[in-house]
Chain A
Amino acid sequence: MSVPTGSVPRSDGWEKVTGRARYAVDMALPNMAHAAVVRSERAHARITGIDRAEAQAAPGVIAVVTADDLGYLGRRFGHIVCDHPILAVDKVRYYGEPVAVVVAETPQQAADAAELVWVDYDDLPALTGAAGALASDALIHEQSYPPPGEAFLGVAPAASTDNVAHHDELAWGDAGAALAAAATVVETTASFPLVYGYAMETYNAVADWQHGSLHVISTAQHPLMVRKELARIFSLPLAAVRVEVPYIGGGYGSKSYTKLEPLASVVSWAAGRPIKVTTDIEGAMNTTRADGAVVTVRTGFDAGARICARDIEIRFDTGAYADNSPLVLTKSINRSFGPYRVPNLRVRGTAVYTNTSPASSYRGFGAPQGALAGELNMDMAAERLGIDPVELRRRNLLAPGDTIIDGKRPLDADLVADLDAIVAALERPAPSGAHAPADVAGRVRAADSASAPATDGGHDAGSGPLRGWGVAVSASDAGASPISTAQVRMHADGSVTLLVSSTEMGQGSRTALAQIAARELGVPMEAVAVGQSDTRFTPFEWTTGASRTTTVVGLAVQAACTDLWNNLRAKAAESAGVSLDRTEVHDGRVYVDGEALTPAEVIRQWFGADAGEVVGVGVIRRDGATEMLPPFWEIGAVGVEVSVDTATGEVTVEHLVTVGDVGHAVNPDLVKGQDLGAATQGLGIALWEEMVYDGEQLTNPNLIEYRVPRLRDTPRRITSVLAERGDGAGPYGVKGAGEGALNPVPAAVAAAVGRAVGVWPTEVPLTPPRVWSLLQEAANEV
């Protein structure tokens, strides 16, 4: 019997460690055929012909499917802008776009035959960069698309394309006038790379269309969102579409909304067989990535180093299709100016279509893009103002209860305390040494580098590595729409099956939600089973995104447990033939006239047998604790210390400090795991990860050249702090964790490297050759 509080072991640990956990890629249906996707070999071209005769005649081939074969089915998907063809219609918009699908008896036969599909193209200008796409007369989308239904979360797509997928603004006060009147204005421009949300499992789906119904097993983070789009494409009622999601081998937002499911489904319809579609790393990189960004921040300060205005321009490289990027852009705007008092603000954002892999959600959801320029700007400002960068932040950070954006939930976090916790853990050099006199505006020589110990194994014995540190903070208005349903079914022995449609992608939500149910019902962990999400059986859940689950689904579970207790009480009263007011519930027992009954006894008594079950349902909507949006502000607060090898430009992260400002940690080990994982992903962006297009093609569509963090890249020292102040709207004061620790990391690393080297970076990742270039620049300036 284990107590459900604290860092209990993950309930899926045994299955996963022994390799017996099942993922979508493991799934098979009887009589299943296999699909191979024929992908575009042009970045932008008209399709003038597809010759499939040779492929159709190849061994084992059942069908070769193109957009022409889809009958009455919808041709496009896209929950905000319905711009994304399931299979290319008339033209292709990026290298790697699905053009046709070969269905065969075996995966090998499908793959072999896919090479025999001949596609003729008429080339169009390939616009692989956002600046070029904005300047070009060539249109990637010649037409506008009607929204697929009601405007999604109030995001209306751009009316005319002009290679703009979305534009949005946020403003108050008069930023222009305030900047003109400011004592000091500091401007920063920083580029955020195209990154791939690498997960151990790629995108995989099995689909089975039968007359009047569709069954899909896939890697979808949001099965209910996928169900909605599939129902529209197939003109089926929601109930006729079943989306099952087993364990997902990593999501990071990259598996949110609809990805491979329409393709697998329409091919099953066309071929008349259950179909399995899998992707390799290259196929996954050609399915979704994160938005690249160029962000310019201008901040005005008064004589007391207080922010008087920020003017921010965000330009996203959104790729060939909008997917969720319009919403990511809107959130990026909300998150770009930081959790500071900004009396005058203007933020303008544009998401630009380009002929590259389509971008969408990615851990942090627009926050890392904005924070890179925004937080680096604070460090540059501190240098210009001659103030310690921690002190500059402290002076400008919002206090708990302050308004960040009018009409939204006030700040539910103590950021100054978080910052103090970082500084205490970082043991950074004294502020006097941290901001040496700047030699020129925008440049700083780091005094702390001179005193750094030489720890580089004897290299560069003359000077030793340079050292630098950086801190950064961010606050995200969690896009956690409070729509969630949970069901707890208590069985005749008092054990419980918990049904939710949250997906388990490694974050540990099944464990944390089981802990909440066990705690509410007074049963041990072993007595709670959590079902796999399956739209036919598990109740409605908006998404598994925005770090929502422990907060929003946790509230639904808590409400379901309350409902279950009420039902037990009513049944106990009914069995005893007494009125409800003679019953009460406490300490895991139902009391009837003071006599204690276990829940199991109540159930057996009521059914008159050792059988039956009692169900509790919990529903969360915009009401009560979750009436005000966002349900919580997700906080990112990190510090890093780095060393830089002056010969090679290699950056070593000597110390990483994360502060998880989570209100309450239901399972502290899982929260720390999220913080370390998110921060490590941020280090990947800061130092290594970048999808590089050379001409029309991605040059590094593999994990040899798209370098993700490895064990040896782990910071030499890690300090993980949890700030539990009970200030969240979730159960026991919970707020979300999972993305926050990524958001400020690229900015903190860029600031640290800038301080070490003496030149502020303008882009990440800070690969060794790029840092070497900064070192050359610094040497030339001295």
Chain B
Amino acid sequence: MLPELGLVRSDDLDGVLAAVDYDHAPYAGGTELVPAMGLGLRRPAAVVDLKRVEALRGIDVDAGAATVTIGAAVTHRRLSDHPAVREHLPTLAAAASRVGNARVRSTGTVGGNLCFAEPRSDLGCVLVALGATAEVRSARVTRTLSIDELIVGAFETSLEPDEILTTIAVPFEPPGMSYWKLQSYERPTLGVALVVSESRWEVTVGAATERPTRAVLAAGDTAGLAAFVDGLELSDDMTGPPEYKRSVLRSHLGRNLGATA
């Protein structure tokens, strides 16, 4: 059961940044925070509503820099339906369209997904594969991090208690990109993002790993690919033992890279 909670609301970013700290948890869709509070894993005195902050809700295309900048409080649904995202980041749009369920997609946000750092997630894997960067702000400082620097472990980010993720800058999708996931349960069991060109194989594995894990290999480097796959520490949980997940991963890579990983 949820405890009684305070609610802090502000229309502007500075108001939000002034309020957020360990006891005042940033809140947008609540699809991760509310269950965590229900289980007693997170007990803030108040939640700070990010949904009304315009600066966190934008989806902006910079054609010159070939990037799309996505506000942290953009919902999965808006992300997946947005024409610019569909045009420049079709794999991300498709992944967002299959996150969780309709209820989660309608309220859950990109920022919440990344900041909760649930390993069994799609967006982190796709954004690592795309080389996205995150802007993080507090009342004190503004930092720019790679997604890899933001997500440092299972349910663990490098955010300070007074910091929030504000935007994610995503380079336009390169040719040869795909994302595939095995999702037998509520959350993905295994996610694989590939960027394949004539010269390079970029492989990012998520969901079964503590955090998205990326390898950049020369095209055709089957030995390197095999070493990467063999070296992955894969989770052992209800969705299957590591050897199962490794087998599914090998089979997917085999089909898509024409290689026996």
Contact = CB atoms under 8 A, between A and B. Distances in A.
B47 to A, nearest CB: 15
Interface stretch (B82-90, B128-136, B137-145, B239-247): B239-247
Interface string B227-261: 00000000000111100100110011001000000
A705 B255 contact: no
A769 B247 CA distance: 10
B78 to A, nearest CB: 23
Interface string A433-466: 0000000000000000000000000011100000
A700 B238 contact: yes
B1 interface: yes
Given A112-B3, A704-B185, A707-B185, A769 B240 contact: yes
A108 B3 contact: yes
Contacts of A136: none
Contacts of B240: 767-769, 772
Interface in A229-288: 280
Interface in A100-136: 107-108, 111-112, 115
Contacts of B186: 703-705, 707
A705 B4 contact: no
A215 to B, nearest CB: 25
Interface in A614-656: 647-650
Contact of B185 (A115, A459, A705, A773): A705
Contact of A460 (B4, B187, B251): B251
A58 interface: no
Nearest to A705: B238
Size band of the A side of the interface?
A: 20 to 34
Nearest to A282: B39
A387 interface: no
A647 B252 contact: yes
A329 B189 CA distance: 37
Contacts of A483: none
Interface in A561-586: none
B182 interface: yes
Interface string B171-197: 000000000001011110100000000
A649 B240 CA distance: 11
A692 interface: yes
B182 A648 contact: yes
A370 to B, nearest CB: 27
Given A459-B255, A704-B185, A768-B184, A699 B3 contact: no
Given A107-B1, A699-B238, A460 B184 contact: no
Interface in A517-563: none
B185 A461 contact: no
B184 A650 contact: yes
Contacts of B185: 704-705, 707
Contacts of A647: 247-248, 251-252, 255
Contacts of B238: 692, 699-700, 705
A772 B252 CA distance: 14
Binding site of A, secondary structure by majority: helix, strand, loop or mixed? loop
B233 to A, nearest CB: 18
Contacts of A650: 182, 184
Contacts, number: 57
Interface in B198-244: 238-241, 244
Contacts of A704: 185-187
A460 B247 contact: no
Nearest to A109: B4
A523 B138 CA distance: 72
B248 A648 contact: yes
A112 B4 CA distance: 10
A36 B40 CA distance: 15
Contacts of A115: 40
Given A692-B238, A700-B238, A768-B184, A108 B244 contact: no
Contacts of A700: 238
A460 B1 contact: no
Given A108-B3, A703-B186, A707-B186, A769 B251 contact: no
Contacts of B251: 460, 647-648
Contacts of B239: 768-769
Interface in A38-86: none
Interface string A85-108: 000000000000000000000011
Given A692-B238, A772-B240, A767 B184 contact: yes
A12 B157 CA distance: 49
A280 B252 CA distance: 39
Interface in B1-42: 1-4, 40
Nearest to B250: A647
Interface string A757-782: 00000000001110011000000000
Given A704-B186, A707-B185, A772 B255 contact: no
A768 B248 CA distance: 10
Nearest to B186: A704
Contacts of B255: 459-461, 647
A648 B181 CA distance: 11
Nearest to A458: B255
Contacts of A769: 239-241, 244
Contacts of B184: 648, 650, 707, 767-768
Contacts of B2: 108
Contacts of A649: 244
B241 A108 contact: no
A76 to B, nearest CB: 28
Contacts of A107: 1
Contacts of B189: 768
A163 to B, nearest CB: 28
Nearest to A278: B1
Interface string A358-375: 000000000000000000
Contacts of B182: 648, 650, 768
Contacts of A108: 1-4
Nearest to A772: B244
Interface string B43-80: 00000000000000000000000000000000000000
Interface in B81-137: none
Contacts of B248: 647-648, 772
B39 to A, nearest CB: 9
Interface string A690-730: 00100000011001110100000000000000000000000
Contacts of A772: 240, 244, 247-248
A772 B189 CA distance: 14
Nearest to A646: B251
Nearest to A112: B3
A574 B251 CA distance: 86
Q: Which among A108, A112, A647, A692 has the highest number of chain B CB atoms within 10 Å?
A: A647
A608 to B, nearest CB: 59
Contacts of B241: 769
A699 B237 CA distance: 10
A543 B96 CA distance: 48
Interface in B144-161: none
Nearest to B248: A648
Nearest to B101: A710
A461 B238 CA distance: 28
Contacts of B1: 36, 107-108, 111, 280
B45 to A, nearest CB: 13
Interface of B: 1-4, 40, 182, 184-187, 189, 238-241, 244, 247-248, 251-252, 255
7 contacts: A36-B1, A108-B4, A647-B252, A705-B185, A768-B182, A772-B240, A773-B244
Given A648-B184, A648-B251, A768-B182, 18 more contacts: A36-B1, A115-B40, A280-B1, A647-B255, A648-B248, A650-B182, A699-B238, A704-B187, A705-B186, A707-B184, A767-B184, A768-B184, A768-B239, A769-B239, A769-B244, A772-B240, A772-B244, A773-B244
Interface of A: 36, 107-108, 111-112, 115, 280, 459-461, 647-650, 692, 699-700, 703-705, 707, 767-769, 772-773
Task: List the 3 closest pairs (A to B, CB-CB), nearest first.
Answer: A769-B240, A647-B251, A111-B1
